[in-house]
């Protein structure tokens, strides 16, 4: 799932294992990785940390909002007897220094990485809860944010002054995550987690009638898209060592694309159809593996992950989506000080190189399949697409973070 | 041919903080929100953050409330949405070198929208203060420290603006076909108002509290640029710019006192000053400059200053408590900051009286429960006095409108300790 936590992880303890946590997670970060993990062990804790990322991706600028503050907390309900430590609630936050969210929709011909895009640029508020029944634990969380939906109507009044009526709503957007774990043996736990598709809908309708001329603009875009994701995994824990392995599927084929859809009427121009290419995004598959070893008060960890690209490898038309397959390498360590633990990590995502070669066909109306000459009346090819005749993508994203965890 | 269109809207919506209207938790609603010197733990985050340091254990407050408006304009129901939403508060007390500290966060989440911005044409009578008063998110993180008989709290009330950094629509011709494409960059930057509180307990029977909250608003800035390049037809730019300031929440200072004549009885009183005069204009302001060779040129709309005045609200409450039960009552007088609407604007408003009732049940620790849980419910009734506004005959001959009505509230909450 591509939100800030997918790019940089939640807490250094888990980012240092490359996110291979669906069965291994057993602390407050379970709200994000697998809510059932909230109840994996007794206790309550609060984690506070910071994380930053730096991108070097061909054809695209740096990541917006590369820094975030993270907070995760977990407490069992105050129950006694057989219910003690079996019902746990938690919350995870990823806070940006200056924004709640930042929605970016590029022009269709702009070189762009659909996976990264504006992913780093949103607040994450994720409450969750879990219950344990013997070896089975189940949990759920909610991923909350807001969209923008509204209408602006302006018309001339009797005196030619403008009367306006504005109704802009920022509706709540809430999507569900759920998970289950099964303690197979004393050392082995298996798990499954699901996260519902998430997006921030931005829709603005402007209706104006000025001097008898209509100026209408209806804008719609889905920002911060994250697909349905299913992850299954297992964790083996014995003594001082934990080994975890995850496999995941993300349903990107539902994605309509990052582009703005516009319907408009402009003075002297009339109706203008929007150029909004339909991109056949592809479902992605990935695998992650993590290892953690304790050496006295010290802990060392590392991990590796791979995921296929959601963007099609052939884009001969207007779009320049440059995502390639991603390889993730992570390493980290930590030390305990009584009830306090300090963890740090570094993570490198290598984005595979990809070359998009354009084709020109003035008879093909599909803007995704081919380019068209912008002025066929002139000699030569008149195309300003920055990807023409070809464009190459690839690069890396480096992130690092520090987390302090205190037992409550 | 070049066309240039500039459309600029400046609009205002005003409202108190939703939790000032609804109360944070049913205990507050049941005492007309007059718990500034009484609240401790999670329920104190909003009314006086210094109370966060006085909690004994971590607390979670979870509540739900609804306000049903029965307001009228000219005898007909006014189009004011019922408000309902969920309150959530979390406080964690801790000690460092013997000093008592506390940290917490209060959230109010409207069920329908995180925020709604509604702006109505200038001459249309409407309840400016109630239309969207409770239609916004509230986020208030705080910290506090207790030093002997004193406690001090500080935090922030957090909101967000909404603005475009880039929203461009390019219209051109590709292969002889008129076609448009767009790019968009919208951000929701954070806005912050300070929250401060201090509590003093000079004796076992008296507590005094003071709190302050800064001014807050939600600014909306949408700039839409259409670059038009259709050869032989029209070439130029069209810019639509919208500016609005919504959810203006005035700065306020509160003085509160609690008196305990008996161990099982608390009497409270509270006065709050609200700085409504800082509101610049309470009306939508829309200006258009249209350079399309149109005669005569368009006229800007009138922007009279709002001239709202500062107000002092008065509230009082009582709570009778036994080991397991609580009964609460409260009353308040809330004057209107809106001046007589004899001119162009038509803000419906009026002084309000407020009466409340509440009850609570404390479930003591038992074989299953390790810590007590408080369950509270409350009802509130606001009466907005009837008013008949007659317009200045020079500005609006024969113009008049009437307003008034009721607002009914219900609230339920649970406080869980860990």
**Residue B22 burial (C-beta neighbours within 10 Å; 0-12, 13-18, 19+):** buried
Contact map slice: B 186-245 vs A, CB within 8 A = 186-190, 220, 222, 224, 226, 228, 230, 233-234, 238, 240, 242, 244
The predicted pLDDT at position B290 comes to 45
Q: How far is B247 from chain A (nearest CA, A)?
A: 12
Beta-carbon contacts below 8 Å between A and B? 238
Q: Is there a contact between B175 and A161 if contact means CB atoms under 8 Å apart?
A: no
The predicted pLDDT at position A407 comes to 84
Q: Is there a contact between B121 and A166 if contact means CB atoms under 8 Å apart?
A: no
Structure tokens at B326: 């609580």
- pLDDT higher than 50, residue A375: yes
- pLDDT higher than 70, residue B292: no
Tell me which chain A residue has its CA closest to the CA of residue B158.
Answer: A100
pTM: 0.81
Please spell the DSSP secondary structure of B215-258, one letter per residue: -EEEEEEEEEEEEEEETTTEEEEEEEEEEEEEEEE--EEEEEEE
Q: Is there a contact between A269 and B121 if contact means CB atoms under 8 Å apart?
A: no
User: Which of the four pLDDT bands, split at 50, 70 and 90, describes residue A210?
Assistant: low
Distance CA B227, CA B87 (A): 45
The predicted pLDDT at position B264 comes to 94
Which residues in chain B have their CB less than 8 angstroms from residue A162's CB? 7, 286-288, 298, 301
| Mutation site for A-interface testing, chosen from B107, B114, B232, B281 by largest number of A Cβ within 10 Å | B114
Look at A3-7, A252-256, B343-347, B361-365 and tell me which has the smallest mean pLDDT.
B343-347
The predicted pLDDT at position A256 comes to 84
Q: How far is B206 from chain A (nearest CA, A)?
A: 32
| Mutation site for B-interface testing, chosen from A172, A218, A360, A366 by largest number of B Cβ within 10 Å | A172
Strand-pairing partners, residue B216, are B249
Tell me which chain A residue has its CA closest to the CA of residue B93.
Answer: A408
pLDDT (average), residues A292-296? 93
Tell me which chain B residue has its CA closest to the CA of residue A65.
Answer: B187
pLDDT in tens, A157-183: 555 555 666 676 777 778 899 999 999
The predicted pLDDT at position A271 comes to 73
Contact map slice: B 6-65 vs A, CB within 8 A = 7, 9, 11, 58, 60
User: Which of the four pLDDT bands, split at 50, 70 and 90, describes residue B20?
Assistant: confident
Tell me how long chain A is.
408
The predicted pLDDT at position A164 comes to 62
User: What is the 3-state composition of chain A as percent helix, strand, coil, each rounded to the nearest 5?
Assistant: 5, 55, 35
Q: Is there a contact between A219 and B184 if contact means CB atoms under 8 Å apart?
A: yes
Interface predicted TM-score (ipTM): 0.73
Q: Report how far Cα B267 is from the mean position of its chain's Cα atoms.
A: 27
DSSP tag of B369: B
Q: Which ranges constitute the DSSP H helices of B82-225?
A: none
Tell me which chain B residue has its CA closest to the CA of residue A76.
Answer: B418
Tell me how long chain B is.
418
Contact map slice: B 151-180 vs A, CB within 8 A = 160, 162, 167-176, 178-180
Distance CA A126, CA A94 (A): 9
Q: Is there a contact between B182 and A150 if contact means CB atoms under 8 Å apart?
A: no
Q: Is there a contact between A167 and B118 if contact means CB atoms under 8 Å apart?
A: yes
Q: How far is A2 from chain B (nearest CA, A)?
A: 19
| Mutation site for B-interface testing, chosen from A164, A172, A365, A371 by largest number of B Cβ within 10 Å | A164
Highest mean pLDDT among A34-43, A167-176, B66-75, B128-137: A34-43
Structure tokens at B133: 């008063």
pLDDT (average), residues A31-36? 96
Distance CA A327, CA A136 (A): 33
pLDDT (average), residues A100-117? 83
Distance CA A119, CA A137 (A): 30
Average pLDDT, chain B: 82
User: Which of the four pLDDT bands, split at 50, 70 and 90, describes residue A104?
Assistant: confident
Q: Is there a contact between A99 and B188 if contact means CB atoms under 8 Å apart?
A: yes
pLDDT (average), residues A142-155? 72
The predicted pLDDT at position A251 comes to 96
DSSP tag of B129: T
The predicted pLDDT at position B291 comes to 43
Q: Which of A248, A258, A259, A282 is nearest to A116 (CA)?
A: A258
The predicted pLDDT at position B245 comes to 74
The predicted pLDDT at position B38 comes to 93
When comparing pLDDT for A21 and B400, which is higher?
Answer: A21
Look at A233-237, B25-29, B279-283 and tell me which has the smallest mean pLDDT.
B279-283
Kindly tell me the sign of the dihedral angle through the C-alpha atoms of A43, A44, A50, A52. positive
Distance CA B411, CA B87 (A): 10
Distance CA A115, CA A257 (A): 11
Q: Which of A292, A334, A317, A295 is nearest to A372 (CA)?
A: A317
Q: Is there a contact between B369 and A79 if contact means CB atoms under 8 Å apart?
A: yes
Q: b or e along B124-135 (b: 16 or more beta carbons within 10 Å of the residue's beta carbon)?
A: ebbbbbbbbbbb
Residue B29: which H helix or E strand, with range? Answer: helix B26-30
- pLDDT higher than 50, residue B114: yes
Which percentage of chain A shows pLDDT scores above 70?
88
pLDDT (average), residues B380-399? 81
The predicted pLDDT at position B174 comes to 63
pLDDT in tens, B220-243: 777 777 777 766 666 667 666 777
Q: Is there a contact between A272 and B368 if contact means CB atoms under 8 Å apart?
A: no
Residue B302 contacts A, CB cutoff 8 Å = yes
DSSP tag of B415: E
pLDDT (average), residues A195-210? 79
The predicted pLDDT at position A308 comes to 96
- pLDDT higher than 90, residue A345: yes
The predicted pLDDT at position B341 comes to 82
When comparing pLDDT for B76 and A345, which is higher?
Answer: A345
Q: Are the C-beta atoms of A60 and A112 separated by less than 8 Å? A: yes
- pLDDT higher than 50, residue B337: yes
Which residues in chain B have their CB less than 8 angstroms from residue A218's CB? none
Structure tokens at A407: 């037992």
Residue B22: which H helix or E strand, with range? Answer: helix B18-22
When comparing pLDDT for A173 and A303, which is higher?
Answer: A303
pLDDT (average), residues A342-354? 94
Residue B74 contacts A, CB cutoff 8 Å = no
Q: How far is A306 from chain B (nearest CA, A)?
A: 30
The predicted pLDDT at position B293 comes to 42
- pLDDT higher than 90, residue A15: yes
- pLDDT higher than 70, residue A133: yes
Strand-pairing partners, residue A143, are A175
Highest mean pLDDT among A243-247, B15-19, B101-105: A243-247
Which percentage of chain B shows pLDDT scores above 90?
42
pLDDT in tens, B150-207: 999 999 998 888 788 877 777 766 666 666 777 878 788 888 999 999 999 999 899 9
Q: How far is B265 from chain A (nearest CA, A)?
A: 29
Q: How far is A19 from chain B (nearest CA, A)?
A: 28
User: Which of the four pLDDT bands, split at 50, 70 and 90, describes residue B6?
Assistant: very low
């Amino acid at each position: 799932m591509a939100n800030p936590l997918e790019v940089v992880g939640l807490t250094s303890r888990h980012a240092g294992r490359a996110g291979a946590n669906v069965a291994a997670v057993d602390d407050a970060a379970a709200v994000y990785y697998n809510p059932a993990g909230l109840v994996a062990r007794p206790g309550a804790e609060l984690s506070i940390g910071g994380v930053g990322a730096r991108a070097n991706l061909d054809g695209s600028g740096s990541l917006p909002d590369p820094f975030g503050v993270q907070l995760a907390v977990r407490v069992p309900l105050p129950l006694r007897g057989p219910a003690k430590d079996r019902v746990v609630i938690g919350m995870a936050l990823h806070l940006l220094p200056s924004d709640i969210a930042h929605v970016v929709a590029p022009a269709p011909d702009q070189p762009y990485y659909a996976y990264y895009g504006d992913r780093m640029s949103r607040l994450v508020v994720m409450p969750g809860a879990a219950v344990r029944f013997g070896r089975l634990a189940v949990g759920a969380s909610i991923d909350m944010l807001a969209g923008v939906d509204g209408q602006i109507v302006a018309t001339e009044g009797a005196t030619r002054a403008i009367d306006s009526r504005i109704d802009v709503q920022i509706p709540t957007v809430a999507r569900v995550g759920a998970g289950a774990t099964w303690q197979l043996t004393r050392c082995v736990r298996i798990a499954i987690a699901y996260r519902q598709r998430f997006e921030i809908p931005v829709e603005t309708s402007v209706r104006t009638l000025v001097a008898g001329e209509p100026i209408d603009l209806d804008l719609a875009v889905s920002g911060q898209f994250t697909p349905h994701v299913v992850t299954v995994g297992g964790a083996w824990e014995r003594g001082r060592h934990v080994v975890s392995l995850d496999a995941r599927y993300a349903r990107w084929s539902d994605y309509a694309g990052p582009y703005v859809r516009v319907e408009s009427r402009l003075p002297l121009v009339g109706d203008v159809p929007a150029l909004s290419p339909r991109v056949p995004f592809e479902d992605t598959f990935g695998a992650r593996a993590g290892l953690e070893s304790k050496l006295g008060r010290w802990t060392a960890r590392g991990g590796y992950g791979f995921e296929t690209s959601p963007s099609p490898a052939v884009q001969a038309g207007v779009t320049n989506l440059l995502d390639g397959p991603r390889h993730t390498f992570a390493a980290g360590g930590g030390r305990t000080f009584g009830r306090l633990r300090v963890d740090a990590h570094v993570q490198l995502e290598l984005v595979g190189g990809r070359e998009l070669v354009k084709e020109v066909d003035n008879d093909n109306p599909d803007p995704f399949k081919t380019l068209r000459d912008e002025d066929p009346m002139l000699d030569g090819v008149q195309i300003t697409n920055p990807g023409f005749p070809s464009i190459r993508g690839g690069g890396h994203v480096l992130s690092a973070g520090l987390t302090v965890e205190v037992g409550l | 041919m070049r066309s240039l269109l500039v459309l600029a809207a400046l609009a205002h919506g005003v409202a108190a903080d939703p939790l000032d209207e609804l109360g944070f938790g049913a205990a507050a609603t049941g005492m007309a929100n007059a718990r500034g010197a009484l609240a401790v733990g999670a329920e104190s985050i909003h009314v006086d953050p210094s109370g966060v340091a006085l909690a004994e254990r971590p607390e979670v407050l979870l509540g739900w409330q609804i306000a049903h408006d029965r307001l009228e304009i000219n005898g007909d129901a006014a189009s004011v949405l019922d408000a309902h939403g969920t309150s959530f508060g979390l406080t964690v007390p801790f000690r460092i070198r013997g000093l008592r500290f506390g940290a917490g966060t209060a959230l109010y989440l409207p069920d329908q929208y995180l925020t709604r911005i509604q702006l109505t044409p200038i001459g249309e009578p409407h309840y400016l203060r109630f239309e969207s008063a409770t239609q916004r998110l509230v986020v208030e993180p705080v910290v506090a420290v207790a030093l002997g008989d004193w406690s001090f709290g500080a935090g922030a009330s957090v909101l967000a603006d909404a603005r475009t950094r880039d929203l461009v629509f390019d219209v051109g011709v590709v292969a002889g076909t008129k076609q448009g494409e767009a790019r968009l960059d919208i951000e929701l930057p954070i806005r912050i108002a300070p929250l401060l509180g201090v509590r003093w307990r000079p004796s076992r029977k008296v507590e005094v509290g003071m709190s302050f909250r800064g001014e807050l608003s939600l600014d909306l800035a949408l700039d839409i640029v259409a670059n038009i390049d259709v050869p032989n037809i029209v070439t130029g730019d069209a810019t639509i710019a919208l500016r609005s300031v919504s959810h203006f929440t005035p700065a306020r200072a509160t003085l509160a006192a609690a008196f305990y004549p008996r161990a099982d009885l608390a009497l409270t009183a509270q006065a709050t000053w609200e700085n409504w005069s800082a509101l610049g204009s309470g009306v939508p302001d829309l200006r258009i400059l249209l350079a399309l060779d149109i005669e005569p040129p368009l006229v800007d709309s009138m922007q009279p200053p709002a001239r709202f005045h500062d107000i002092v609200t008065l509230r009082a409450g009582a709570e009778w408590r036994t080991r397991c039960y609580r009964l609460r009552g409260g009353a308040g007088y809330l004057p209107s900051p809106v001046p007589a609407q004899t001119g162009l604007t038509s803000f419906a408003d009026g002084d309000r009286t407020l009466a409340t009732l509440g009850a609570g049940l404390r479930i003591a620790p038992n074989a299953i429960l390790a810590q007590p849980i408080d369950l509270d419910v409350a009802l509130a009734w606001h009466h907005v006095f009837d008013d008949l506004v007659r317009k200045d005959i020079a500005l609006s001959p024969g113009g008049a409108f009437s307003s008034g009505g009721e607002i009914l509230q219900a609230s339920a909450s649970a406080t869980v300790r860990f």
